[in-house]
Amino acid sequence: MSEQNFRLGATLMTGASFVFAMQDGISRHLAGEYNVFMVVMIRYWFFAVFVLALTSRKEGGLKAALRPHFPLLQMFRGVLLAAQVCVVITSFTLLGLVESHAVLVCYPLLVAALSGPVLGERVGWRRWTAICIGLVGVLIILQPGLRVFSPVALIPLLGAFMFALYGLLTRYVSRKDPTSVSFFWIGVMGAVVTTAIGLFHWQPMAPRDWGWMALLCCTAAGSHWLLIRALEVSEASAVQPFAYLQLVFAAALGMAVFGDVLEPNVALGALVVVAAGLFTLWRARSAGAR
């Protein structure tokens, strides 16, 4: 990978992280005013159109996308991601952006922990040590036993677990299905599932919030386009650390716009989790090079 490709990939991944954070802020605002299922449903309508347009331009087009090698897994991935989006947005409304993202950044550690049973990959003692240290960071954030512990604090942890499982299944199906096929199924299945639920939770939306909804749909498409481009021009392991900037952007937005507070334990725990996550990425890259 050339230095130029790395710089472009890092820039695109940083841009994707920023847009994802803005998307989370808009989602929090809308979900605070309207039902979460309705918000996610409308977002998926636009996203499905974006995916269909993108897939039709790829080799084989929609015909190839409709014949995946792993049809059941592809459908399950789409349902899983849609459910994860609902869980995470609910977390934003109940806990705020700062604390939610501080817990959500542990998903690379969960990916490493689950890569053995799901993908049959070997995880060495160094990465297991990093995983345990990262989970200690999560405990520092949640502080069980040191304050009145609320089960609500487990919602972002559930979201992180769901996203880790989604990521592992994506890696599994990528053995035979190209990225365009996998992308097609998350858009289509997400739209189908959220529509089946969201229509029963429809609420009239104020004109100004339709503007926010339009912006949310644009950020959903834009963030995924930036992410795809970043992974096309550079190696995933090289630019993945820049994805952690989403925590910084989301925390800044939460404190500036929504009045979230960065508690000392949340800051310390997030630093521990990010450090452990970066170490697991480095070990995985080193193992891949060997």
Give the pLDDT of residue 92.
94
Distance CA 216, CA 19 (A): 10
- Convert 273-289 to b/e letters by CB count within 10 Å (16 or more is b): bbebbebbbebbeeeee
Spatial contact of 86 and 44, defined as CB atoms under 8 Å apart:
no
Reported pTM: 0.86
Give the pLDDT of residue 249.
92
Give the pLDDT of residue 3.
62
If the chain, 290 residues long, is cut into consecutive pieces of 10 residues, what is the mean pLDDT of each piece? 73 91 95 95 93 85 88 95 95 91 86 78 76 82 60 88 90 86 92 96 94 93 84 73 86 91 86 84 63
Distance CA 290, CA 275 (A): 23
Identify the residue whose tokens are 């795809």. 228
Distance CA 8, CA 247 (A): 21
Give the pLDDT of residue 148.
44
148 three-state secondary structure: coil
Distance CA 159, CA 239 (A): 23
Q: What is the DSSP letter of 204?
A: -
- Please state whether 96 falls in left (phi above 0), alpha (psi between -120 and 50) or beta: left
Distance CA 146, CA 50 (A): 46
Distance CA 90, CA 96 (A): 9
Tokens of 254: 């939460």
Give the pLDDT of residue 274.
86
Contacts of 166 (CB under 8 A, 6+ apart): 77, 80, 81, 84
Tokens of 113: 């922990």
Give counts: helices (H), strands (E), the chain: 13, 0
114 three-state secondary structure: helix
Give the pLDDT of residue 236.
67
